[in-house]
Amino acid sequence: MLGRLRTLAAALAVTVTLGVGTAQAQGHDRAAKPTKRVYNSMQFAHPSAPDAFCTIGAVGTDAHGRKIAISAGHCGGSGSYADREIPENDLPVYDRQDFDYGPIGYIRYFKSPEGSMTGHATKDYMVIELVPWVTLSSQGPYLKQTGMVEVPGGAPSPNAVSPARDDERLLGASLFDNNELVVSGQLGVWYGRVTNNSRGVYQCHAPHQAGDSGGPAIWHVPGSAYPSEANGFKAEGPWAGITKARILGIPPYVYTSSANILADLRARDEADPADIFGGGFKVTTNP
C-alpha cells in the first residue's frame, strides 16, 4: 500500500508548476463537458501514475457551501503541503476512470503521516474541494450514505472540543455492543463487527486492499438489510468512517471514524479564524 501512496503523492506534486493557470484554462471549456457525478467509492489518481490511487469516502458540502470530498490523509504523503490549508490549485484530483474530464477537485488539506506507516493515528484524513460543476451523489456503486452516524452518550472523539456533538462520538466496541461497519472497495462489499475502538480508529473484519485507502464505511442500521446477492450487494446507512490501513492484529483492517474527522475539522475551524476547507462538513442528501 505504501508504495502506491508515495507514488500518488509524487504524481500530485508534478502539477505544482501548473497551478491556478491550468485551472482557469480548463474552466473555459467546461460548458462543453457533460456533468460528472461524484460519489463515495470513486477512485482518484493523477494521469501520470494511474495505478497509484486512493478512494473517496464521502461527499457533501461544508459550512461555506463548497462541494467537498473526504479521503485518507496518508494519500497525500508529507512535505510542504502537509498540515496546512492549501488554497493553491497545485494538487489536482482526477477521476481514475476518466482522466480526459480534467480535475474533479483539488486537495485543500491533508494530515501528514508523521512517520507512521499507517498515517496519523487519529487525524488521518484529507479534504478535497470539488469543482463547482460536478454533481454530488450520496449513492456509490454499492453504498448509499444517509447522513452521518450519531452516537448520543458515546465516548467523545479524542479530537473533539468540549462538549462533543453526537456526530463526534464513537461507536462502542465492548462485549455488549454490536456495532457493524459495511464497506465497499476493490474486494467488493463486506460487513463486520467493530471489535476494537482505539481512540476512534475502528478495527473490523471487513477487508480492504491497497488503493482502497480513504474509501467509505457506513454503520449498519440494526434491522436493515445486509448486502447480498438478492439486493445486488447494496446497503445504506449513515457515514461512519473511511478506510485507513492494515495492521498487525486480528482483525488486521482498521478504519478512521467519521467522528474523528468531524471533530478535528470543528476544532481547527474554531481555533483558526481563517477559512477552513471542510469545516461544518455534511454528507450530501442528493440521490
* Tens digits of residue pLDDT in 129-169: 999 999 999 999 999 999 999 999 999 999 999 999 999 99
Whether the CB-CB separation of 75 and 54 falls below 8 Å is answered with: yes
Residues 8 and 50 in one domain: yes
pLDDT at 14: 41
Q: What is the pLDDT, as a whole number, of residue 113?
A: 76
pTM of the shown model: 0.90
Specify if 280 maps to a domain.
no
Residue finishing a domain among 96, 121, 136: 136
Q: How many residues make up the chain in this entry?
A: 287
Indicate if 149 and 89 belong to the same structural domain.
Answer: no
Q: Are residues 131 and 153 in the same domain?
A: no
Choose one of 110, 136, 162: the last residue of a domain: 136
Structural domains counted in the chain: 2
Question: In this structure, is residue 25 part of a structural domain?
Answer: yes
Domain range for 160 is: 143-257
Q: Are 107 and 128 in contact (CB under 8 A)?
A: yes
| Per-residue pLDDT at 77 | 81
CA–CA dist 20, 43 (Å, integer)? 23
Whether residues 119 and 185 share a domain: the answer is no
- pLDDT at position 2, please? 30
Quick one: 63 and 178 in the same domain?
no
Structure confidence at residue 274 (pLDDT): 77
Tell me the C-alpha distance between 61 and 212, whole Å: 22
Give the residues of the chain that fall short of pLDDT 50: 1-7, 10, 13-28
Where helices occur in the chain by DSSP H, the ranges are: 2-14, 19-27, 258-271
Do 128 and 171 sit in the same domain of this protein? no
Query: What CATH number is associated with residue 156?
Result: 2.40.10
Same domain, 169 and 236: yes
> How far is 95 from 208, CA to CA, in rounded Å?
20
171 and 102 fall within a common domain: no
Query: Do residues 188 and 219 touch, judged by C-beta distance below 8 A?
Result: no
Output b/e per residue, 176-198; b: 16+ Cβ within 10 A: eeebbbbbbbeeebbbbbbbebe
- What's the pLDDT tens digit per position in 102-128? 999 999 999 877 766 567 889 999 999
